[in-house]
Structure 1
Amino acid sequence: MSERALKISKKAPEQVPEGASAEPMARRGLAHALQAMRAIMLRELYKFSQQTGRLVSALVRPLLWLAVFAAGFRNVFGVAIVEPYDTYIPYDVYIVPGLVGMVLLFNGMQSSLAMVYDREMGLMRLLLTAPLPRPWLLFSKLCATALLSVLQAIAFVVVAVLIGTDLPLLSLAGLHALAAMAAGALMLGALGLLLSVHIKQLENFAGTMNFVIFPMYFLSTALYPLWKLEESGAGWVYQLARFNPFTYAVEWMRFALYGKDPGLAPYVVLGCLVVFFGLACWGYDPQRGFGGLTKRGGGA
């Protein structure tokens, strides 16, 4: 061993003292992880602030349903006195939680498009090779998506109240509904994250989304209650709506808004969130910047 190498080896123990506590290092690691999450979320918020048309388009779609479709059926299609309602309600009141779900669903799927774009531009490769656990980086991305979804959904609810929709927002039940909205946003964002594993190119995005967004939305309780489907004899539609996780996201918000027990809805939403996010973490390969699931699917 050379004299210089011997000196370096003697200094090495002094650089990391044997009796040093791991707690300060853990705190530094946590601070680094939180700083990375903050940077990712601020980046998404900044991008959103530069895209004013994105907010307008997110509001126009559900407001058209509320102002035109729901107004036309306001007195034609009344909702009977069933849970979570204590009295008859007009259709526009019933449809608002479903339209909030529409905002969350479309933004969650749009986040999938953004992930595919970032992957093609090489940004995802840089992100996933950062010196942090891959699940934490993807979770930070997911939190940024959910935050944008919730902000857009709140903006829609405010506009809906301003145009005359009667909603019990100023109560503790409103806070529960907000928590349900956040959980639904996380679940749908995790689904978008999982879909971005499978979508190889931007050109494939539109076709894939047509097989996800519209079936999830229309085969749910967003527009009509489950008992209406069963009563009309549409048995297969009823069964598909029962097994649709989007149904449970909407029902959780609907029941929470009126202070009623949402039943299994929170467990289904949170369970799907864990499953979708776990599969997305498994599918992303930090060395290539896109999912191993895509590679395996393409070779099948």
Structure 2
Amino acid sequence: MDLRIFTEPQQGASYADQLRVAQAAERLGYDAFFRSDHFLRMGDGSPLPGPTDSWVTLGAIARETSTIRLGTLVTSATFRQPGLLAIQVAQVDDMSNARVELGLGAGWFEREHAAYGFPFPPKRFGLLTEQLEIITGLWSTPAGETYSFEGEHYTLTDSPALPKPVQSPLPVIVGGNGPARTPALAARFAAEYNTSFPEIADIPERFARVREACEAIDRDPDSLVYSAALVLCVGADEAELARRAAAIGREASELREHGVAGTPAEAVELLQRLKGWGASRVYLQVLDLSDLDHLELVAAEVMPHV
């Protein structure tokens, strides 16, 4: 099973903070370093140092790492025009020597849009659908040919469809917990389906819906990666677990119910259960980026057993 570190830098992390975690994750053998794509802190607390742009950050981290995969979970379709996003992601893929993955979603946090002047239309699923079609269309257009698209939200005319990512195809992740439209998008466009912070008991049903959507369009359901994103809070003993839970403003009992939490043995048991349900990848949401010992513990006591 792939274990990936997933961070929320809008909660108060500088570029240096993120780089330190990414380099530690690479050294410890985690499969990837992913980050959210947000521009405003959620909940109480200091807004400092302020947001960092996900693709600027990942481009810089790409030049300071060598093996770990990099990506977003997930970039919001409301933040960037699809042509620009296709160029940005392809460039970071080149900068990383083919280590980038694009998670793309519809966006949901209205307040950050108001804070920075991003339009926030009430209906965004059409934006997401067209962006997925455009980005994958640009990347798959043969060199020397042009790409055009006319939709409800975007029009592209005779684009040279450059630059190309190094990876062909570059993996696209579609995530969400919707019962019908999200599985259909994943089946049509994605290399990976991700369910983020679901009730753990609901995960098999989420995966089953995506498999059904694949079968409906004659796609092999096993051609997708199935993954989940869950908060991480593991302690070598109850005191360490309680300390880590308190550091992120949560209770250990609640984290045990909703995340990869508890002792290393409890974390292994949950991850093995997810593997049995079809998950081959788990994104471990790390909320305290100063606690690199947390990553060390999971790498030493959990990773070898999954």
TM-score normalized with structure 2 length:
0.26
Which structure features the higher share of helix residues? Answer: 1
User: Between Structure 1 and Structure 2, whose CA radius of gyration is higher?
Assistant: 1
Larger RCO, structures 1/2 (Cα 8 Å, 6+ apart): 1
Which structure features the higher share of strand residues? Answer: 2
TM-score normalized with structure 1 length:
0.26
